[in-house]
Structure 1
Amino acid sequence: MDNHRLDIAAPQMLAVLAILATEHGCTLTAPELIGRIWSDNPPTSAISVLRNHISALRREFDAYGGAGAGFEWLDSTQGGYRLCLPVRFDVVQVEALIAAAEADRRSGAADRAETKLGTARSLWRGDPLVGLPGPWADQERNRLARLRSELGEATICVALDRGRYSVAIMEAQTLVAAEPHRERWHELLMVALSRGGRRVEALNTYRNAHRVLADEFGLSPGPEMVRLHQQLLAAEPPRYAATKLPPDLADFVGRANLVHELTEMLGADTEHRRAIAITGMGGIGKTAFAMHLAHQVRTHYPDGSLYLDLGGTEERPPSADMLLTVALRKIGVGPGELPSDATGRMVLWRNTVTDKRILLILDNARDVDQLTPLLPGVGAAAVLVTSRSSLAELFGARLVPLGVLTTDEARTLLQRLVTTRRLSDEPGAAREILRACGNVPVALHIVGARLATRPHWRLTTVAERLADEHQRLTELTLGNTSVESVFRGSYRLLVPELARAFVLLAFAEALELSVAAVAALLDRERAEAEQFCEALVDHGMLQTPKLGHYRQHDLMRLFARKVADPAQRRELPQALRRLREFYTAPPAGPLFTGERDGTAAPGTTLLMTERRHG
């Protein structure tokens, strides 16, 4: 009621109001209210007392809202009572903030998580439901106490992630004092003290916990507390074995055989594990595939799971030294324990994780050089790498190049996003949308999300807009996500000669080109043209269906045409003329046998135009 405070002193009356508020809009019968206030043995006068409380509440409402407000806001209906006022609870906001903070923390955004938890803590003022009688109030106090403990634990975890050990220690001490029988609080306090350089106090925490558990409950410490104690005795920095993974996609589809094969490999009980490198063009779903695998097998890695974005498509990706620092901090190495030089940090990283049963997800690697310092070496740690680079030089790794989804998989994904009914109502339009998206997951997600949030749009209209190649990339945009921005991250890594080849290939009106045809188009020697093509394949920007033949995905082709600079456009007519002459020139002898088998047979005319490409 805005900021107006009702003048209610009677605890039972407050309990009645609180119960009705938590059941806002629902009718509670008199027996239900009596049971929540007096339990199973209410006094004989309970119904009269309840009615008096209802009347008193209505008078308070009348005093605030005017005559008649009491009966309007506190309704009598169907043998019970219902509060009709709008109600807002701080506790609902606290629960939402804790969940959002945990999602931020899993994605590595500990700073955002800390801000959200700070907001949640500011909403918690004093003890809840003080003085309210009855079993309902007791249950709510217990529930809210658990929520406050959950808030405290989340605060400790984020403080540990951010190296704020004094904050983590104070919060853990508060939880230990409130619930000395909870091993979890003692464990967190041991970790926080150890990371804060207070190893002796961490050992004392273990001894105190051991005494409390033994004297009061006849119990011994659990395996996690024992493990932490052993690490402290061995002077090892305790590692906080937490799963720090982005969430799995609820609508993940496809690649079932590959998922089965790789989950078996990752879940196998072996001392030596190979790195798995998932590669492919931008937007193909590499990160989603890696996250899906990680969530399938994370229970096989008791020492935890760790996600690290290497920022490989950024203009200035993080250095190996910075990435090693972030990785070491995430597994619990304190600032004072970090070696001063990059080599020392790499050695510490490998010594720390190689023999641990830990799952590392190294996402978005630029190339093997950036990746190598983070690889733990041969041991029990498993590594999932994603990259737009082919990572062909990552010897010993299992290379997994991802292609586009099959048509059935693409349809299933779109169906999950848009609903089966809408696709069935316009099957032809659905097929055209799939074709325009080229079965690329990021394009399908964009179209699916737009259709899902616009339930009255017809699929036919969307298909017609996507059919316009000049506007297709513009249509494949949603907020800050677009197919064009995904591809641009790869394009800006190309040296000028590769960028030129990438663009000119896009204007050849051919589904596939041989090396000889590419050499003519680029006006380069055949060996050099092949080197360019193979480099583009390694960048995930060109496909090689068979040795010596190359093609671009339709969406990549549209992107290449869009980013062509003025110099490349000026060169285009001559480049297309060279390619046309290559296909139309008569064979000069055996040397040319098989060199014109792109999309045109030897001696035939390749259908090309010199129309002005926008």
Structure 2
Amino acid sequence: MAESAELGELVRAFRHAAGMTLEDLAERSGVSVRAISDMERGRSRNPQARTVMALADALRLPDDDRKLLLHAARTGRSRPAPAPLCELPPDIPDFTGRSAELATLTSALVDRDGRPAPIVISGAGGLGKTALAVRAACSTRGEFPDGRLFVDLRGSDPEPLDPYVVQFRLLRALGVDAERIPSLHTDRTQVLRRVVADRRVLLLLDNAADEAHIRRLLPGPGGSAALITSRRTLAGLEHARRVTLGPFSDADADGMLRAVVEHDSAANPAPALIRSVAQLCGNYPLALRIAGNRMLSRPGWTLETLVNRLADEESRLDHLSAGDLQIRAAFSVSYGQLEPTTRLVFRRLALVPGPDTGAALASVLTELPVHEVDRRLDDLIELGLLVSAADQRAGFHDLIRLFAREQLVAEDTREAVEAARRQMVSWLLATARVAGSWFQPNRQRSPEPSDLAMAFPDLASAQRWLEAESENWLGALRQALGTADYTAVVSTVDALQGFSSRWVNWRHWPEVFTLSTTAAEKLGDPYKSAKHGEGLAQAEAARLTDGA
């Protein structure tokens, strides 16, 4: 009976996962309730293949699960179903960086004092969340003598792993007999918490989809702990301790790339080349590993080869691919989880010329209300596709910006993209003129609002906008000059001259006045050309003074 018990456990687990009673499965398969019950209890030693096939058809099992069930029926045993799925993955031998994050995780796992607070590692795909979690679990081995169990929850898949099935696997890995595992969701949750409460077990729940995906898997008070990884921050989890990952620091990125390429004993990488490759990889751990692996797999390649190949932004993501490791695929998974409107916001933000943006500019690019865009920006930050910046702004990491540009070209028509770009440039320059007019000498009244531009209630709010959006309206000036909209360039810089005297140390004033001087010359306006030339001379003098 013991030999056939594994088959019974599989049938019961698959039936529960499908949400069927014994009667439901019997009706759909044509196999009697008694026969199925005997099979699940291990009393049916040698069910016929056609009986097992009927059950598999009724349960609508995918090919892998169907093969597992048939193999168990033929041999009287299956692979030990839950335990291997719950084994901790091997630690990465050349794990590099994340010393501060690792210290935080280790401290949180050691100093729990019986509190059930889950620990969440979040961040975009490709940042090494799982590798860090496994290293933390290995570093705290002595804290969890009763086991460290790992489950990939497949939260990024179209159909994440059902927590009900995960509970079964964890309980079996913890030694609970299959017949003693309850069939009701609430009862199974209580049993799991009761079992781990009396032990010191670490549950590493990898790749959670959202809060609901892991709530029923979390241990209660006691000696056990849960370490969770997710692309989302899981902000709804109460009392959670959080570590949010971004790209590596320069030092850690250089260290990781060096560790990968120095596996080749002949390699003696120059620090400057290491830095160049790491910078082109955006300091992303996955991108760094891919770049290093590509070089090592091609004996004729050098770091110079990598620099040359990665330098082209149009093809950079293509080159960051090695076998089944692809940085684009890591971003595509997160992008695929977005609602269509949020995808639109993500794509259109690729048009922003500066490093970050606020909701107002995103609203202009998408023609969505500001409050709607603000919510979508929060969703993108939650999923790690944008990073939060100061003053409620959001921006891209370098490689994700390239990915957003790819999606923009693939999914938006050329006409729609150009219309959005023109609208953005017009709005930025018009708003810059309205804000700049607050700084004009002898101003008698508030600037007139414009249908195209933002209005500002006072000088302070105008200054905050000009400073926050400085690299965006500068980018708009560049684009306007490139499209021969010389009048817009000259009139905008005219309006900003008073502000330039107030924000003297901004390093881009020489470029601003160079753009406007060029535009004035194109217009054939010697007065404006001379006036803006004086502004350029003053900006250059201020830069030299500041540099001294």
TM-score range, shorter chain: 0.5 to 0.7
When normalised by structure 2's length, the TM-score is 0.65
Residues 536 and 544 (structure 1), Cα distance of their counterparts in 2 relative to 1, 3 Å cut: same
Mapped to 2, the partners of 1:281 and 1:318 lie a distance apart of 20
What residue in structure 2 maps to residue 331 of structure 1? 174
Mapped to 2, the partners of 1:396 and 1:322 lie a distance apart of 26
Report whether the alignment pairs 1:359 with 2:229. Answer: no
Q: What is the identity, as a one-letter code, of the residue corresponding to 2:465? A: E
Deviation at residue 534 of structure 1 after TM alignment:
0.8
- Counterpart contact for 1:161–1:330, Cα < 8 Å: no
Q: Provide the secondary structure at the position in 2 that maps to 1:306.
A: strand
Q: What is the identity, as a one-letter code, of the residue corresponding to 2:340? A: P
What residue in structure 1 maps to residue 337 of structure 2? 493
What residue in structure 2 maps to residue 370 of structure 1? 213
- Counterpart contact for 1:305–1:358, Cα < 8 Å: yes
What residue in structure 2 maps to residue 518 of structure 1? 362
Q: Which runs of 5+ in 1 are unaligned?
A: 1-155, 165-194, 199-238
Q: What is the identity, as a one-letter code, of the residue corresponding to 2:324? A: N
Q: What is the identity, as a one-letter code, of the residue corresponding to 1:595? A: W
Residues 336 and 452 (structure 1), Cα distance of their counterparts in 2 relative to 1, 3 Å cut: same
- Counterpart contact for 2:86–2:173, Cα < 8 Å: no
Q: Provide the secondary structure at the position in 1 that maps to 2:465.
A: coil
Deviation at residue 321 of structure 1 after TM alignment:
1.8
Please list the CA deviations of residues 339-371 of structure 1 after superposition, one character each: whole Å capped at 9, or x if unmatched.
222222222212211332100100000110111
The match for 2:281 among 428, 434, 437 is 437
Q: What is the identity, as a one-letter code, of the residue corresponding to 2:421? A: L
The match for 1:301 among 135, 141, 144 is 144
- Counterpart contact for 1:290–1:361, Cα < 8 Å: yes
Report whether the alignment pairs 1:279 with 2:122. Answer: yes
Please list the CA deviations of residues 60-83 of structure 1 after superposition, one character each: whole Å capped at 9, or x if unmatched.
xxxxxxxxxxxxxxxxxxxxxxxx
Q: What is the identity, as a one-letter code, of the residue corresponding to 1:497? A: T
Q: Provide the secondary structure at the position in 2 that maps to 1:521.
A: helix
Mapped to 2, the partners of 1:255 and 1:410 lie a distance apart of 10
Mapped to 1, the partners of 2:112 and 2:382 lie a distance apart of 33
Of the two, which has the highest radius of gyration? 1
Please list the CA deviations of residues 526-576 of structure 1 after superposition, one character each: whole Å capped at 9, or x if unmatched.
222211111100011101122321111111111122223444654211221
Residues 323 and 569 (structure 1), Cα distance of their counterparts in 2 relative to 1, 3 Å cut: farther
Q: Provide the secondary structure at the position in 1 that maps to 2:97.
A: coil
Deviation at residue 424 of structure 1 after TM alignment:
5.1
Report whether the alignment pairs 1:469 with 2:469. Answer: no
Residues 356 and 468 (structure 1), Cα distance of their counterparts in 2 relative to 1, 3 Å cut: same
Q: What is the identity, as a one-letter code, of the residue corresponding to 2:189? A: M
The match for 1:457 among 301, 308, 332 is 301
Mapped to 1, the partners of 2:152 and 2:406 lie a distance apart of 29
Mapped to 2, the partners of 1:500 and 1:382 lie a distance apart of 39
- Counterpart contact for 1:510–1:598, Cα < 8 Å: no
What residue in structure 1 maps to residue 541 of structure 2? none
Give identity over the alignment, percent: 33
Out of 513-522 and 393-402, give the one that drifted further: 513-522
Report whether the alignment pairs 1:551 with 2:421. Answer: no
Out of 287-296 and 507-516, give the one that drifted further: 507-516
CA RMSD, 1 decimal: 3.1
Deviation at residue 327 of structure 1 after TM alignment:
2.2
What residue in structure 2 maps to residue 348 of structure 1? 191
The match for 2:465 among 581, 585, 595 is 595
Residues 524 and 309 (structure 1), Cα distance of their counterparts in 2 relative to 1, 3 Å cut: same
Q: Which runs of 5+ in 2 are unaligned?
A: 11-39, 44-81, 435-448, 450-454, 484-548
Report whether the alignment pairs 1:267 with 2:110. Answer: yes
Deviation at residue 309 of structure 1 after TM alignment:
0.6
Alignment of 1:14-29 (within 5 A): none
Residues 241 and 489 (structure 1), Cα distance of their counterparts in 2 relative to 1, 3 Å cut: closer
Please list the CA deviations of residues 430-462 of structure 1 after superposition, one character each: whole Å capped at 9, or x if unmatched.
222111100000000111112223343121111
Q: What is the identity, as a one-letter code, of the residue corresponding to 2:361? A: A
Please list the CA deviations of residues 43-65 of structure 1 after superposition, one character each: whole Å capped at 9, or x if unmatched.
xxxxxxxxxxxxxxxxxxxxxxx
Out of 297-306 and 262-271, give the one that drifted further: 262-271
Q: Provide the secondary structure at the position in 2 that maps to 1:524.
A: coil
Mapped to 1, the partners of 2:413 and 2:119 lie a distance apart of 38
What residue in structure 2 maps to residue 24 of structure 1? none
The match for 1:539 among 383, 403, 412 is 383
Deviation at residue 160 of structure 1 after TM alignment:
8.3
Report whether the alignment pairs 1:419 with 2:289. Answer: no
Report whether the alignment pairs 1:530 with 2:399. Answer: no
Q: What is the identity, as a one-letter code, of the residue corresponding to 1:266? A: L
- Counterpart contact for 1:278–1:386, Cα < 8 Å: yes
Q: Provide the secondary structure at the position in 1 that maps to 2:135.
A: helix
Mapped to 2, the partners of 1:245 and 1:514 lie a distance apart of 42
Mapped to 2, the partners of 1:307 and 1:321 lie a distance apart of 16
